Structure 1
């Protein structure tokens, strides 16, 4: 089964449990590191998640994975918080990040740059406006390669 199909199958298995218990699925990764495969599920909720939350989700998902067996080879399952530098995978994530510090990369240069780290001022009409230093940059959402919350000192 391909990585996108595995991620879709895992999402379908875990989402009902997450929604029922007030969690949000942030991201799923299925990656090979060295000789080992890792299935990483990143979840969050208002106020943040703790180790007990991760344990409950891991137990539930492990049981579902054993029942449905969408992954043919051995792998390690990890359930965790997305952390302080949470990825902004969907437009809805970007909307929630308005007013916060972000790090955004683009597929092609915008105003001569492909990396932007600063305050997300707005996200309207499929355009992000990020203040970097004293300059604002309008970035079409279609040109965003990746985005995440940032910790700027």
Structure 2
């Protein structure tokens, strides 16, 4: 079974479990590093999530993972918060982090630029929309090389 199918199967059992605990499952990644398989689940809630909540969710998730086809039986499960400079990987994250400052780098110039920093307005008609002091910018989703939360220091 492909790792994408395993991720989808894990998401199907993990999302309702997260919701029951007042959390939102933002991302699931299943990857091999050397001989070991890792399953990374990113959870959040308004106001943030604590390490204790991540640990409790991991413990609750462990028994339900036994029924996921294709998941390595010795998988290392990591449950974490998105972090301050989280890379946005899926549409759910573009929605969840609406209103936050983001940095978007593009594969090709958009509006004559390849880098945008501003407030994430979300996804609209296949475009990432951000606003800055110059106004609103629509960046085609397929032009986005990387988008991440932006932390001013």
What's the TM-score once normalised by structure 2's chain length? Answer: 0.79
Q: Does 1:119 align with 2:118?
A: yes
Distance 1:95 1:68 in 2: 27
2:43 — aligned with what?
Answer: 43
1:94 — aligned with what?
Answer: 94
How far is 1:51 from its partner?
1.9
What's the TM-score once normalised by structure 1's chain length? Answer: 0.79
Q: Which runs of 5+ in 1 are unaligned?
A: none
Distance 1:96 1:109 in 2: 26
**More displaced, 14-23 or 62-71?**
62-71
Distance 1:36 1:7 in 2: 16
Residue deviations 1:54-90 (CA, integer Å, cap 9, x gap): 1221112111112445313532110110111234344
Distance 2:4 2:94 in 1: 22
Q: Which runs of 5+ in 2 are unaligned?
A: none
Change in Cα spacing, 1:21 to 1:150, as seen in structure 2 (3 Å) is: same
Between the two proteins, the alignment pairs up a number of residues equal to: 150
Query: Counterparts in 2 of 1:13-92, with a 5 A limit?
Result: 13-72=13-72, 74-91=74-91
Change in Cα spacing, 1:130 to 1:62, as seen in structure 2 (3 Å) is: same
Contact 1:42 1:82 in 2 (8 A): yes
